[in-house]
Structures are given as C-alpha cells and as structure tokens.
Amino acid sequence: MKDNRETLAKYWEEIYGNQDIELLNSFFLEIDALKKEINNKATESDWYKDAVVYSIYVDLFSNDFKGLEGKLDYIHNLGVNCIWLLPILDSPMRDAGFDISNYKKIREDLIGLKKNSSEDEQLNVFKSFLQKARQKGIRVIFDVAINHTSDRHYWFQESKKSTNNPYRDYYIWNNDSDKYKDARLLFKGMCPSNWEKNGDSYFFHRFFEFQPDLNYRNPKVLLEMSRNLIFWLKNGVDGFRADAIPFLWKEEGTNCENLPKTHTIVKFFRAVLDHLKPGTLLLAEACQNPYEVVKYLGDSDECHAGYHFPLMPQMFKAIAQQSSEPIKQTLSTKVTPEIPEGSQWFTFLRCHDELSLELVYVAEEDRKYIHENYCHDKKWDFRIGEGISARLSELMNKNPEKIGLAYSVMLTLPGTPVIYYGDEFGKANDEKYYQEQIKLTGKDDTRFLVRGRINWDELEQKLNNKNSFESKVYQQITTQVKVRTEHKNFGRGNLEWLNSVDEQKEVLAFKRTYKGISILVINNLSNKDISIDLSKTKLTWNQKDLLGNELPTDKNGSLLLGSYKYYWIQLI
C-alpha cells in the first residue's frame, strides 16, 4: 500500500495542497480494509484490447436484468465478449439516465422486483446477471457520470436549501451568471445558458439545467465519487465509462475544458482502481481531438482507453466521398498521436447519441459535407448542424452492402470496436419512442430517435427470413465479429497501408500484423466494381478469405472487388 499512498497523496497535494489531509488519511484506512473484501483474482491487465463491445440500454433491449439474462445467448452468438451497460443507476430519466440521483442504487424498473424489496435483494439481481455473463465469457462495464448529478440527488437537494448547508459546496454556486463566461454552450439550441437560477443564486451546469456540475474544488466530492466507483467494483463490474470527463475542473478565464487538474483527478481515480483491482477498465468519454484525448491516457496512469471521436465521422466521409484519404489522414500521426503501449482507442460507427460533428474535432468543411450527405431528414438535425440524430441503417439508406462495408472498416482498423444495440440487424430510427420521450422529458431531444425498444418476436421472424433486410445485415455483422474475436491482429497488431494500391483512392487496403501473422484487409469504398493488381505485393493467400468468401480474379490475375465489397485475407 505504501506506493499507492504516496501516489494518491501526491495527486491530492497537486489538487488541494495541504487541505483536509485527515480526510485522505481516513480514506487510506477505508481502501486498506476494502482491498481484503474485493475479489482480486488475477485478470489480464489489457483484456480490453481483445474485446468487442456491445452497447445497450437494459430497459429498451430486454425490459430488465432478468430479461437481459435471457438474452445473453443472443449477445454471445454475436461474438461479443463485453457488454457496455448504458446508464443503469437511479435516475429521474430526463437525460436517458445520465442524470444520476443515487450512485449506489440501480433503477428499480431494471431490477424487476416488488417495490418493497430490500437493497440486498435488488443488488443480488444485478450480481446474478454479472455471474451469468461471466460464465459466457462476457465482461460488463457501465456508465458513470462523474461531472454532474441529477438535480434530484440528495446532495443537490440539500445544497439548494441554504448557503451554509454542508452540501452547498458540492456544487458550483454564484450570486450571478457572470462567472466562467468562456465555457462553450454544449447543448446549443436546447439550453440558453450554463447557469440556472435557484432562489437568489445561480448554479453552474455544462449540460441540461437539471444536471448541476459537481464542485471538485471540494475534496469531499473527489472522495465520494471514488467511493461510488469502489462500490460497484466491489460488486463485480469490470470497468467504467467515465462520462464527460473533460469538464471536471473549472478555472476563470479558461474554456473550462481539459484543464491540468482535471487530469490529476482522473489519475486519482485510476490509482484507486489499480490499488483495489488492477485491470479494471477506465474508459474516457472525451469528445475532443485526438491530441487532447491522448492526454487522458497519460503515461498509462490515467484512463486505459479513450474513444476516437474524429475517426467516426471520417469513416462516413470516406464512404460518401468514395475515397480512403479521410481515414488515412485521420490515422496519420499528424492527427492521431502514438499512445502508450498499454492503452487503446475505442472505435464506433454509431452510439446512443447523435453522429457528432462538433467543431472541436471536425473542420467546418467536413461538418458541412457530412451533414449534406447523411442528414436525409431535417428532423435529424442536432445542435444546429453539429450532429445528425440517426441510426446507422438510416444514414446508409438501408443498404445492407454499405452497412456491411462500414462495419468491415470499423472492425479491422486499430482499436476496440463498439457495436450499438440493434445496428447488427439494421434497426431503424424509432419515431414512436421519440414522441414518448418528448412528452416524458419536456425536451425535443432528437437523440431519442436513435434509441427505442426491440420487438423480439418481430425480429425473430425477420432474422429467420434470409431475404429480409434485417437478416442480410445480421449475417454480415455476426460473421465479421466472430472472425475478429478469433484473431488478435485487429486489437493488437500494427497497421501497414498497402502502398501498391494507393493510386486507387476508392480502395482502403492495409495489413494488420501480430506475432508474425498478417491479415490483409481490402475494402471497396465505391459503388462500382474495381480490379486490383496485387502482383507487385508478392503476397500469397488461400482461395477463400477469413469470412468464407471466394476471392475472384480476372484473366490477368487481378482481384475483382464488387461495389462495397470487402475481404479479410490471411496471408501465407
């Protein structure tokens, strides 16, 4: 424990100086005792590099955790080995659960027990699910919003009572709204200000007005949030997606993003998790350019991984432009820096939010181009041009070949891929759910279009029909995912562009090599047939690729690529 004490004490001093050292010493005693309780069975420290992540809302996917247990076979059959549970903690659900009202309780509607059930009974339902997932080789991580709470959280309810309430300093209060004026408005078009009036004072929020920001200048907030993480670590989760971490620390005269003490706070969380259970994933949701995101990986002492936000829109641009250049440019060291050996990018095509086109990491020209090519309905416009609220199938005009191609690109490029529930069978936007949520929340938040429930009876019929759109998408994605999980090249191997076909911009071709084994990936980004002369490469392979496809050639021996076709070829 000595090294950990010194590390945590160093971070504490960087943030608070010598303030409230007795709180830190008391915390040391807590985690010493907890270390004996937590299951410390050896776990592969970088397991997340070989993961394929499946992102779900429990209620929309399967009603509750009992229902989710019943769907573990479906998830396992996808080839997935990690589930990312979108917000499950207690919440009034005004922002899909990212407005947390109790960090140590799961929403009762997800538990499926009678209202008078005990906290232990409720927790055991979740732990039963974790156990059954683990039996199938599936790890589980979940969301935790560490920047803000719900305005219905006990801390905030107390905080707003009076200026001398013990919880007042858990949040950021001011006599007026003149502070932190350089902090950008994140929910442009939905929130007019970062300040909300309550009584004679104002409280600060970066997101909706019912999500007050926590005040990490108060050391008690840091320790309480650490205890929240520890609680779920003790109960068996494999990691956390740290929501909205760039905004943790605020300084007057700055934009209140990516400040040095924000990084120190994240280091503190990481050191606590590493002490109690090494290998517990801390995933950065930092919606920033790669050179900022990589700072949240630190020197392997902050987050283990971070989302590669800029790569996502550039994959869409590449397909629309029928050119490999946007992807190759984004993955060049000019845009994406090298990351520490133990770290990883997380990649995605779609998620629970909009197709984000924030100018933080998307140039105005690209934002306009992608919006024009993919926002097929004015209703999908999000944040006045800075995003598109649409499912992958909608963005791709329900073309199974384009969807399959997009996944081939995402699943084979460097990083750990995330599949958003329903995209594996081409789930569409859900207008009914969107309208329900407007009535429930009072917010016209078009991100609700990309959520919605799964009708399993209807889906089963469609998947059993091999000619259905859903079945065509599902067969492609499940085949790709299963092959990916069988080959560590994709999560760990190096990337080498195939220079011999560089002149054909419509082709994205590269090798992924790991421990002497190479896999050649070839993607036709265009809507036309292409021939590729691979004779100069002097590469050799079998007649079928890893996906089971025959490799057709013309009379000159060139590889024939149909429109939107892709091959994953193991070299011999």
Tell me the per-residue pLDDT of 189-202, one tens digit each, with 9 for 90 and over.
788 999 999 999 99
Query: Domain spans of the chain?
Result: 52-149+216-486, 150-213, 490-570
Average pLDDT over residues 262-277: 96
DSSP character string of 407-437: HHHHHHSSSEEEEETTGGGTPPP-HHHHHHH
> Do 281 and 305 meet the contact criterion of CB atoms below 8 Å apart?
yes
DSSP 295: G
When pLDDT is averaged across residues 331-359 and rounded to a whole number, the result is: 94
- Per-residue confidence band for 246, with pLDDT thresholds at 50, 70 and 90: very high
Q: What is the mean pLDDT of residues 14-21?
A: 95
Q: What's residue 537's pLDDT?
A: 75
Q: Please give the pLDDT value at position 1.
A: 46
Query: Residue 535 pLDDT > 50, yes or no?
Result: yes
The yes-or-no verdict on residue 3 having pLDDT over 80 is no
Give catalytic status of residue 285 as yes or no: yes
Confidence of residue 392 (pLDDT cuts 50, 70, 90): very high
Which of 122-131, 495-504, 545-554 is most confident? 122-131
Active-site entry in 46, 209, 243, 366: 243
Catalytic residue among 50, 95, 285, 358: 285
Tokens 């080498």 -> residue: 496
Residues of the chain above pLDDT 70, percent = 98
Please state the rounded mean pLDDT for residues 68-93.
Answer: 97
pLDDT for 433 equals 95
Task: Summarize the confidence of residues 254-267 as an average pLDDT.
Answer: 97
CATH class entry, domain 52-149+216-486: alpha beta
Element of type H or E holding 513:
strand 507-514
Ranking 39-53, 356-370, 505-519 by mean pLDDT, the lowest is: 39-53
Q: What CATH number matches the domain at 150-213, 3.30.2020.30, 3.40.640.10, 3.90.400.10, 3.40.50.1370? A: 3.90.400.10
Backbone angles phi, psi at 80, to 5 degrees: -75, 145
For 214-283, the DSSP string reads: B-TTSHHHHHHHHHHHHHHHHTT--EEEEETGGGS---TTS-SSS-HHHHHHHHHHHHHHHHH-TT-EEE
Domains 52-149+216-486 and 490-570 share a fold: no
Facing residues of 532 across strands? 559
Q: What pLDDT score was predicted for residue 571?
A: 92
* Residue range 441-477, pLDDT digits in tens: 888 889 999 999 999 999 999 999 999 999 999 999 9
- Residue 224 a catalytic site member: no
Question: Exposed (0-12), middle (13-18) or buried (19+): which is 539, by Cβ within 10 Å?
Answer: middle
Give Cα separations from 517 to 489, 494, 495, 497, 511 (angstroms): 8, 11, 12, 16, 10
Architecture of domain 490-570: Sandwich (2.60)
